[in-house]
Structure formats: C-alpha cells, structure tokens
Amino acid sequence: MINFLSKLLLLLLLPLPFSYAQLVPIDDIGMSEATGQAFIAIDQRTEGSIDFTKVSLGIDAEMLINADLVEFGEYARSGESLGSDIRLENFALGEVLSDGTIAPFKIKDPFIELAFEKNSDGSGGIQQDLVGIRLGFGKAKGAFTADIKSLSGKLEIALEGSLQPIKDTATGIAWLATRFMSGNTQVKSTAVLVDEVGIPDGIRAHLIGVPKGTAIECAGSGSCGLAGLLQYFTAGEGFSSSCHILGIGVCYELSTYRTLEIGDNIGRDSDGNILRTANGGVASADYSDGLFLSFQSKAIEWTDSDVITHDGGFLNIPEGGIQVNFEQALHGTDRQRTRYIDPYFN
Amino acid sequence: MKIIITVLSLFYLQAVLALEPLGENEMDQILGLGGVYLSGDLTINDVGGPLNESGAEPGDAWQQDCAASTNERCGARIAVRTNNTSGWIVLDNLRGRFSFEGLTLKTRLIDSGFDNDGASSSDGASFDRDVFEIGLPNTMNFSNVSYTLANSNKARPTEVGFKQTDIFNVKIDGNVSLSGNLLLFPTGNP
Amino acid sequence: MNKIFLLSFSMLVNVVQADLVSIDDFALSKVDGEGIGLVLEDFIFNAGSETAGGGTIEISGLKGSSGQDVSLHVSQFYILGNGSIRGSVVDGNSTNIGRLSNPFNIELIDGDDVGVANKAVFEFSAPKLHGTTSVFTPTFFNQIGSAGDFTGFNTALFDDDTTTGSRSSERPDIGISVDLEIAAVRTQSLNTHYKRLSIDGSRLRLWGSYDDDVAKTGGRMEGELTLNIYTHDLEFFACNSGDSFGDNSCGTSIHFNDFAAELQLGWGSSQPATFEVNGDGNFVFEIKSLEGICGGANTGIDGCTASSGDQSTDVVERFYSSSGPFSNIYMGEVKVGERSFGNSTISNLQIEYLKVSSHDL
C-alpha cells in the first residue's frame, strides 16, 4: 500500500511531457505549388571582343532621397576646365507634393554589369581585362532634381512648344524674322550636351543646347506658315553664330533645369507644360528605359543599349525622357519640393 | 516507518534551507582546472524524415531513399516571419551531415598580448580580466549539406493557397578551415 | 500513514513556490544590464574547392533571363589577416576581429536612449568608432550653401593604428572567388577581394512593435541598421574558370581604393526599417515614409510646428538636423585597369522613404 501510494505520488509530482505537435505528411499537390524562378538572373553575352556579365535583380523600388553632393570622377582631365566628370549638387530623386504626400521616384529591375575585353596574356593565352562597370535601371520614372554643375554622358531634352517665348526674346535679325510668325505655332527641336560653341560634347558639359547643324522645325503635321522657314536656319551655321539660331540663344546652362521629370508619354497640355494633379504631382507618365551610370576605360556599347559610352564616368538619361517647352528652355525649370523642410524650394 | 519519516523530513528540511551567495573573496579562492573538449556530429534528414510517408497505411515510412533522392520531402524546413500577418522566409530542404572535432571551452586570464603585432600598446595588459574562451575546431566537415533559401506565403506546404518561390540552393560538401578562439566577456556597467 | 501523507504534501507545497510572471514591455524597458563582448583571436576561415582539403560549395537554382540554369561554384572564400595577397597566404596568417578594449557587443539596451521609447532594444554592434569619428565634415547641412565648402572625407579612418578603433591586426582581408557556370559550361571565375576591412561603428538594433499598442494587434519586428564599411582596396577581376590571382588568364581589375560607405537605414521608431515577405511570397524591405509622421492632418511641410529650432519636440526638424539619419559613400580612387578616374562622393544622403520589393523575373 505504501509502495503503491508512493509511486502514485511520484507519478503525480513528475511532469509528463507529451508532444502535441502532430506531423502531417506533405502530399504531392502541396509540393507542386513551389515555383522555381526567383528574382535574380545572371547572363553572359559577347559582342565583338567584349564579354558582358550581367546580374539582374527583379526588384521594384520607390524612394524619396536627398543628397548634398553626388560626384563621380573628380580628376584632372586634359582639355577640360571642369574638375569632375559628373557633379550634381543638392540632388534628389522623388518629390514632396503640396499636401504632404510623397511622389516617389520609381525604379524597376536594376542590374550590375561588368565588361571584359579579351586580350592576349603575353604567353599564347587569353586574359579577361575588366574594362567597364555599369549600374543600370531597367525602367525609371519620377522627378530627378539637381543643380547640375558638370555632366558627362548622354542627356537629350526634347524641345517642343509654342513659338511665343522665342519671339519674346528674339533680338536683331531674329526679331525681324519672327515678327510675322504666329506665336501660337508649335515648333520643336532637340537639345543635347554641347560645349561653348554648340558642338555636341558629352564630356564634362555644363551646357545643353541645339547642336550645330540642327534647326527648329514645325511640330504639327500641317504647315506652320512662315515659321516653317526656321528649319533652314541651323544653329552655328550661316547667319547664325555659335550657340545661336539667327541671334536666338539656343545653348542653356544645365543648372537652370532644376527638376527634370523622367518618364515616357508624360501627359502635357497644349503648351507643353506637364499636366499636374491638385497636389502638384505628375498626372500621368510611363516608365522610361535606359537610365544608367557607368565607368569604363574605353568606349563601350553596352548590351541592350544603343548608346556608345566614352571613357570615364557616364550618366545616361533615357532618350525621350525629358521634354520642355521653349519658355522652360530659355528660363529653366523650377525646382520641386524634395524635402519636408526644403530651403531650396521657391 | 520512522526511517521513512526521517528520510522524508530530510528532504523537507533541504527544501527550506536558503541558498546563500558566495562572496567575492570566496569566489576568488576557487580555481578551475582545465576545460572541456568537444566533438560533434549532427545529421539532419540524411536518410529521410517523419514526413517521408508515401504509403496508404500509417507507418509506411522510409519509402524514399533519401541518401540517393533529391526529393524535397527528404529535407527539413524552417520558416520564420517578422510580421504576424506577412509571408515567411524559409530554409527548405535542409539536410546533410555536419561534424567537427576539437571544440574547446575554458576560462582564461588575459593580462598581456593583443598589441597589434608589436606595433601598439598591449590591450591585454590594460584589460587584465578573465574571459570565456571557445576554441574553434580547426576543421569542420560538411557531408552533402544542402538547403534552399525561399520565400513562401504560408507557413506549411499543406495549407490552402500555398505558394513558395525558391531563391537559390546551397550545397556544401567537404572541409572548411575554421581556427582561432572566440572570446566572450561581460561589457557595460553592471 | 497520515504523517507520511502530511510530510509528502508539505514537500509538494515547498516545491511550488516560485510563480513566474511575464515582464511587460514597460518593465523590460527598464532593464539595462551588462552586454556580452566578443572578440575573435587568431582567426582563420578558408573554404572552397581550391583550398587545401576543401570541398565544393555550390550555389544553384539561379536562372538566366532565357531560363537557362546558372550556378556558382566557390573556389575560395576566406577571412584572413591583412597581407594575404588575395587569399593566397593562409598558413600563419591569422587575424583578430574586435578588440578587448572595443569588442563586438550583444546587449539589451534602453530604447529611451536610442529613439525607441518604452521598449527594450536588442543591439548587436561592431567595435565603436572613437577618436576619429569622421566621416564627412560638411559645413552646411540642409541649409543653402555653396558645395565649395564641402571639406571631404576624414581619411584618417583608413590609417587605423592611430585610432581607438580596429587596428591593422584587427582588419582582415576578405575575399571570394566563384566560377560562373551557365547552361553547364564554366565561363569565368569572378573574384572580389577586400583588403584591410573594418566595419567599426556598425550596429543592428531590433525591437518589437504593434500597429495598435493597446489591442496588441499587428505585431512585427522593426529595426535600424548602421552599416560602416571601410576598406583600403575593394577589387574585382576575372580569370578563366578554375584560375586565381597570379595565373595568366587573370585580367586587369577594377579597384575602389580607400572605399568608405557609412549607411544609416532606419531611424528609431520614428522611421523604422522592416524586412518581411508579402502575401505573394516576395520580400519587401521598407524604410518607413515620413508622410504623416506629425500625426493627424498635419502635412509636416516646414516641420510639424510653425516655429523652427525646436528639434526636441518636432520630429521633422530633428530629422533634418545633425541628429537625423544620413549616409555617405566615398571612393578615394576608382581605377579601371591602369586608368584612374579620381575620387567619387555621395555625401549627406537622407532617405525620407524607401521601399524595395522583389518580383519574379
């Protein structure tokens, strides 16, 4: 009796750990839901004597960021007066709208790419010399804000809008020539990175302008009356001095374009101004392809890009990504609000 | 009877005696000897696992030969999440054998050395305290250790609507050199 | 018999004396105990197929954009003392990581001190930056100023033996050499090497949070990461598959000399960083937006309040002051082959909002 009770007491005193987790077999239906393709892709490609190794990330990113200074390639470069390949001050991606909401800068599918050139290794074999590195974004859209002090790379601004701002600032022969043209005529041209005399120059540029040999043309499909004559006056040639078309200045400081809206098919009004929502955001825009930053020791045509980069730092801002009217071309674009407390806004 | 009562009383008395902390002076007098030398061998799902049932009857276990098979049910699965309404970060198909020999544990007084290869003053001299030293085993052996890093929207593959995206698989087979000591000691102001 | 029962039941009573009560967050936030310091002494790590006795380390399951199988085979992955010449000097070339006077540290800290009110915060930190605190020395910060005033990076952070942070014997060489295999063909060996790496000043802080603190719903883990990377030389180059530094097929490199990154991701509970997986099985990393941070209908534009200079109460003002989070990246020299491209800088980068989510390619 004592033994039995003692054992009973012991049993009651001892904790009894049972496992209550029931293991369930995985059936085949459950297992088949696992998918394979993830967000990293690695590719190799050869073009001519250059091999490219590219790591792509399936990533969507949106951001509002600010930096005091973004500078690449600060070194002395022969034939150049500016000190850096790329120098952007008071840089921001994205903007703060008037009601305090954020319109972020959006990026899809960034990638890193390395370029290797196959050269002889001096003993009969081949060595892979790394000649370039590129950080790119498959697609991008949003507000790109900076005081651009120096830019190397490719930036094209589509100029399109009414003739009126040109008429208003024309002097001399240009004043006379444009008197009888209708200010409402829609005209267009293209501005690229140029040097002080209007020659296209993608290395350490601080000017963007209608390059030598390019004219202002009709934008509409029909005739644009007397304004159609402008197409015969190319910048920097004939009657026009360098960086001018008939006395109309066509080269502009990059730093006057304080905010550039990157995107394709941005909704605009008839005057070329961006259509904005009540709180100041861009009403409609698609993504642009081809934004990238690269360093290379020689000219390279990177994969999926018809841009041939020069050596050094190179920032490629997508073609068709930026458009201004002639009012903005002549006077620059306003800086958007990029911080909640923004000393540079207004 | 008296013996039983006496014995039970002793137990009772022992439970009432309070533990008293040893003072610092007494602790100083205690000297340890040596340390601990460990060897380890860990095998996970190397030849199958509890989910490896394919038969109709419970207990039809080990139907897959997991030594040869890469069937996903052969590995273990760990899922964690940082938000109680979100999806899961998963280590899936975890399997293989991991072994080491010669992991040591001991305490050690450091009062010299750690002088940046002679170029600077001695950290050890100014430190002058005991540390707990874990001596790393010099070599670790991995035998077909593999796992998959993945994301999934549900905790278990058996849940309705389960979807998992594998990111990459890792497989390690062979020796890894890992030598040196990990020193642990208290920091801050107690 | 009765006495036996009495004595036995008395034992029962004595056994169950301690009643454990869970510590709530408020009580836990008062905990400020000791931390645990960690130092690695005479450390060597060396793995990969090209190492003595090493086996295979394979990363597979990756794809190319056309769906072909891609895998990476690690030839060597090492952590060695500085002067390892890209991982070739292994024997006897050990390193310390952390210092007895300035170790890696694991600790539970008082959240009130670090911008996470009324919570205990788990912190894992690297050796602290003392003495040379660096970093960029801006002469203006969120004020209008000329960038000609920018005075640049404090390069003394690479000249370690004079600081109280990690010294040269505590700055390891780290590198990895992987063979890239695409569609079962080994195409090249990609090499990455860091020389004299230090992560002094880095730390990871983690804490728990609720969407609704009263109802305790919507629980999640939040954090803040300060990541500093200082390396004398970050190098990439490629060789033929199976070769390593010194072999003929290894070509010229890209070097980032005197590379420093000082990244601040997250800022206390005002702007926590979170990492989770969404309902589609894709991961999401987010640094919470400043939008709505003032609360209610307050847009936060020009600060939460109209008056300036009250950073102690105005979180937007504090964000844009020197107490706010900011990141810097500096590269003393970028060299592609023999061609030098001078230095590059991103200074005083602030993140008001960031969200990164993955999707299947």
Q: What is the DSSP string of C81-147?
A: -S--TTTT--TT--EEESBTTB-EEEEEEEGGGTT-TTSEEEEEEPSP--S---SB--S-SSS---G
Give the one of C37, C45, C219 whose C-beta lies nearest to B187's C-beta.
C37
Q: How many residues does chain A have?
A: 346
User: Hey, what amino acid is at A339?
Assistant: R
Cα–Cα distance measured from residue C18 to residue B188, given in angstroms and rounded to the nearest whole number = 30
- Let me know: does A134 contact A302? Beta carbons within 8 Å: yes
CA dihedral B88, B94, B99, B102 (to 10 degrees): 0
- Let me know: does A216 contact A229? Beta carbons within 8 Å: no
C29: pLDDT strictly greater than 60: no
From C211, which residue of chain B is nearest by alpha-carbon distance? B83
The owner of tokens 């005075």 is: C151
The owner of tokens 């010399």 is: A129
User: Tokens standing for C246?
Assistant: 């010194």
- Supply the ipTM of this predicted assembly: 0.85
B25: phi then psi, degrees, rounded to nearest 5: -60, -40
E-assigned strands of A82-216? 84-93, 95-96, 102-103, 105-120, 126-150, 153-154, 157-162, 186-194, 207-209
User: Hey, what amino acid is at C126?
Assistant: A
Give the one of B123, B188, B190 whose C-beta lies nearest to C99's C-beta.
B123
E-assigned strands of C185-277? 185-198, 203-209, 220-239, 254-265, 273-277
pLDDT tens per residue, range C208-246: 998 887 888 888 999 999 999 999 899 999 998 878 788
Q: According to the model, what pLDDT value does residue B149 have?
A: 92
Can you tell me the mean pLDDT for C320-326? Answer: 85
Helix (H) or strand (E) holding A333: none
CA distances from A190 to A132, A164, A327, A329 (A): 29, 18, 14, 11
Q: According to the model, what pLDDT value does residue A225 have?
A: 80
Cα–Cα distance measured from residue C237 to residue A311, given in angstroms and rounded to the nearest whole number = 19
pLDDT by residue, tens only, chain A of 346 residues: 545 555 555 555 454 444 444 444 444 434 444 554 578 899 999 988 899 999 999 999 999 999 988 999 999 999 899 999 999 988 999 999 999 999 999 999 999 999 999 888 888 888 889 999 999 999 999 999 999 999 999 998 888 888 888 888 887 877 887 888 888 888 889 999 999 999 999 999 999 999 999 988 888 777 778 788 888 888 888 878 889 888 788 899 999 989 989 988 888 887 778 888 988 889 888 998 889 999 999 999 987 777 889 988 899 988 766 888 888 888 888 899 999 988 888 7
How many other C-beta atoms can be found within 10 angstroms of the C-beta atom of residue A298? Answer: 15
From B4, which residue of chain A is nearest by alpha-carbon distance? A2
User: Tokens standing for C247?
Assistant: 């072999």
C105: phi then psi, degrees, rounded to nearest 5: -140, 135
CA distances from A215 to A186, A188, A190, A238, B56 (A): 14, 9, 9, 12, 82
- Let me know: does B133 contact B181? Beta carbons within 8 Å: yes
C207: pLDDT strictly greater than 90: yes
- Let me know: does C135 contact C325? Beta carbons within 8 Å: no
pLDDT by residue, tens only, chain B of 190 residues: 667 766 665 555 544 556 677 676 776 666 555 789 999 999 887 766 555 555 556 555 545 556 665 665 668 889 999 888 888 999 988 988 999 999 999 999 999 989 888 888 888 998 999 999 999 999 999 998 999 999 888 888 878 888 888 889 999 999 999 999 999 999 976 5
How many Cβ pairs closer than 8 A exist between chain B and C? 195
Are β-strands B129-135 and B88-110 bridged in parallel, bridged antiparallel, or unpaired? antiparallel
- Nearest CA-CA distance, residue C350 and chain A, Å: 5
Helix (H) or strand (E) holding A9: helix A2-13
Sequence-separated (6 or more) residues with CB below 8 Å from residue C147 = A68, A69, A89, A90, A149
Helices (H), C290-334: 315-319
Cα–Cα distance measured from residue B93 to residue B44, given in angstroms and rounded to the nearest whole number = 10
DSSP assignment letter at A341:
S
From C171, which residue of chain B is nearest by alpha-carbon distance? B116
Give me the sign of the Cα torsion angle C34, C35, C37, C38.
positive
- Let me know: does B54 contact B63? Beta carbons within 8 Å: yes
Q: Give burial (CB, 10 Å; 0-12/13-18/19+) of C338.
A: exposed
Closest CA to A148 of A104, A196, A85, A192: A85
User: Tokens standing for A224?
Assistant: 């644009």
Helices (H), A131-221: 164-169, 172-178
User: Which residues on A lie below 8 Å from C301 (Cβ)?
Assistant: 96, 98, 100, 337, 340-341
Q: According to the model, what pLDDT value does residue C6 have?
A: 57
- Nearest CA-CA distance, residue C287 and chain B, Å: 15
- Let me know: does A67 contact A82? Beta carbons within 8 Å: no
List C350's β-bridge partners, or say none: A66
C270: pLDDT strictly greater than 90: yes
Chain C interface test: which of B5, B152, B168 (most C C-beta within 10 Å): B168
Q: According to the model, what pLDDT value does residue B8 have?
A: 63
User: Tokens standing for A34?
Assistant: 């696992």
- Let me know: does C115 contact C269? Beta carbons within 8 Å: yes
- Let me know: does C334 contact C341? Beta carbons within 8 Å: yes
Closest CA to A259 of A338, A330, A335: A335
From C70, which residue of chain A is nearest by alpha-carbon distance? A42
Closest CA to A149 of A198, A191, A237, A89: A89
Q: CB B162 to CB A36 under 8 A?
A: no
Q: What string of DSSP letters covers A267-330? A: -B-TTSPBPB-TTS-BS--BPEEEEEEEEESS-EE-TT--PEEPSEEEEEPPTTSEEE-HHHHH
DSSP assignment letter at A76:
-
Q: Which residues of A164-190 are buried (b: 16+ CB within 10 A; e: fewer)?
A: bbbbebbeeebeebbeebeeebbbbbb
- Let me know: does C74 contact C5? Beta carbons within 8 Å: no
User: Which residues on B lie below 8 Å from C8 (Cβ)?
Assistant: 8
Q: According to the model, what pLDDT value does residue A208 have?
A: 92
Cα–Cα distance measured from residue A121 to residue A126, given in angstroms and rounded to the nearest whole number = 5
- Let me know: does A235 contact A212? Beta carbons within 8 Å: yes
CA dihedral A227, A229, A235, A236 (to 10 degrees): -140
pLDDT tens per residue, range C136-169: 655 445 555 554 455 667 777 776 666 667 888 8
Cα–Cα distance measured from residue A120 to residue C111, given in angstroms and rounded to the nearest whole number = 60
Q: According to the model, what pLDDT value does residue A31 have?
A: 42
Can you tell me the mean pLDDT for C297-304? Answer: 89
Q: What string of DSSP letters covers A101-117? A: -EE-EEEEEEEEEEEEE
CA distances from A97 to A31, A67, A279, A314, C290 (A): 47, 19, 6, 31, 13
User: Which residues on A lie below 8 Å from B73 (Cβ)?
Assistant: 25-26, 31
Sequence-separated (6 or more) residues with CB below 8 Å from residue C181 = C70, C71, C72, C73, C187, C241
Residues of B (61-90) whose Cβ lies below 8 Å from A: 72-73
Residues of B (112-141) whose Cβ lies below 8 Å from C: 114, 116-117, 119-120, 123-124, 126-127, 131, 136, 139
User: Hey, what amino acid is at A131?
Assistant: V
Helix (H) or strand (E) holding B34: none
Chain C interface test: which of A42, A49, A51, A315 (most C C-beta within 10 Å): A42
C15: pLDDT strictly greater than 90: no
CA distances from A5 to A15, B1, C6, C9 (A): 17, 14, 13, 12
User: Hey, what amino acid is at C96?
Assistant: N
CA distances from C272 to A140, A258, C316 (A): 26, 31, 15
Helices (H), B30-145: 123-127
Helix, strand, or coil here: B144? strand
